[in-house]
Amino acid sequence: MYLVVDTYGAFLGKKSQRLQVEIDGKVTEEYPFMHLDGLVITSKGVSLSTDLLSALIGNGIMTYITDYRGEPVALISSPALHATVKTRRKQLLAIYDSHSTEIAKSIVRGKIKNQAYLLKYFSKYRRGEKKNTLIDLAEKITSRLGELKKIPNLPVEDTRDTLLNIEAIAGKYYWQGVNVILKDRFQRREHRGSKDPVNSSLNYGYGIIYGRVWQAVILAGLEPFAGILHTDRSGRPSMVLDLIEEFRQFTVDRPVISIFSRGREIKIDKKGLLSKESRRLVADEVIKRLETPHSFKGKKHTLSAIIQIQARNLATAIRERKDYKAFTGRW
């Protein structure tokens, strides 16, 4: 499980083989380390002991800190996890090999399919014109898959712009579909600085899975800052952004859209940020999705486990020049 701590003034400590949460000097919760996959801190004013940090690292549990908007602040893990060399050497050279375009195409293909699948999923609960519009937009999204086949077998440095253009066109149709589902509550996709409830919830949810994907990238021996589809930029974890693309729709978009579709209340405070209660609601729904079993390659895995499996598959594809198949959900 992933523990999200969002209470100002909370103290996190260690007792035996458990993480303790104290608020106002009283222990309110305890979690055995053996049941924890990660710790996510989303509030200011949270403190924790070095004994706890050492225990978390010793148990392979990463600590991920975000701000109120879900933007990453810090990731705390053991330096030993960065010791893999062979995979990283291959990864740094991958963009000069034509195989990199095949990997990038798979990432875009997976994202496009998941966007179309999600619109079809929500179309099942609509009728009439709205249902038909969602199906039509899903078909427009999948029509972009044919464009991927036309991309030449060249290094990704020569094909990236074309790939990103295909992704952008599919994304335009996808967000139009979200507008159809949510009506006036969602006009367009906005990233940093957004102050409307839907975009703020999406950004916050992405921040939560951002930490999980980063953790998976490191555990797979990959370099977080050397991407294939996304370009390298100082301070930009491009490989994390590459891997997260195939998981956005089923780990964040689906639960967030469902929150609003069901009429559940999301509030924005005077600073334009999600209220504490709203952050907790979004976090609970996203983590519930991460921990939901999902059919994958003939077996049942949680989405959190699939993220790790895919990170290892991506590392193998880069290291051994093997095919990479992005995760696609079922609708």
pLDDT digits (tens, 9 = 90+) for 17-64: 999 999 999 999 999 999 998 899 988 899 999 999 999 999 989 899
HSE of 149, CA atoms in CB hemisphere, 13 A: 5
**102 touches 110 (CB < 8 A):** no
pLDDT in tens, 214-239: 999 999 999 999 999 999 888 889 99
> To which residue do tokens 């994202």 refer?
111
| Phi and psi based region of residue 70 (left: phi greater than 0; alpha: psi -120 to 50; beta: remaining) | left
User: Residue 303: is its pLDDT beyond 80?
Assistant: yes
Q: Where are the domains of the chain?
A: 2-66, 86-320
- Among 124-128, 192-196, 234-238, 325-329, where is mean pLDDT lowest? 192-196
Radius of gyration of the chain, Cα coordinates, nearest whole angstrom: 20
**CATH 1.20.120.920 is right for the domain spanning 86-320:** yes
Per-residue 3-state assignment (H helix, E strand, C coil) for 230-274: CCCECCECHHHHHHHHHHHHHHHHHHHHHHHHCCCCCCECCCCCE
Confidence of residue 270 (pLDDT cuts 50, 70, 90): confident
Q: Does the domain formed by 2-66 have CATH 3.100.10.20?
A: yes
Contact assessment for residue 119 and residue 134, using Cβ atoms and an 8 Å cutoff:
yes
pLDDT for 83 equals 55
What whole-number distance in Å separates Cα of residue 219 and Cα of residue 61? 11
Confidence band, pLDDT 50/70/90 cuts, at residue 85: confident
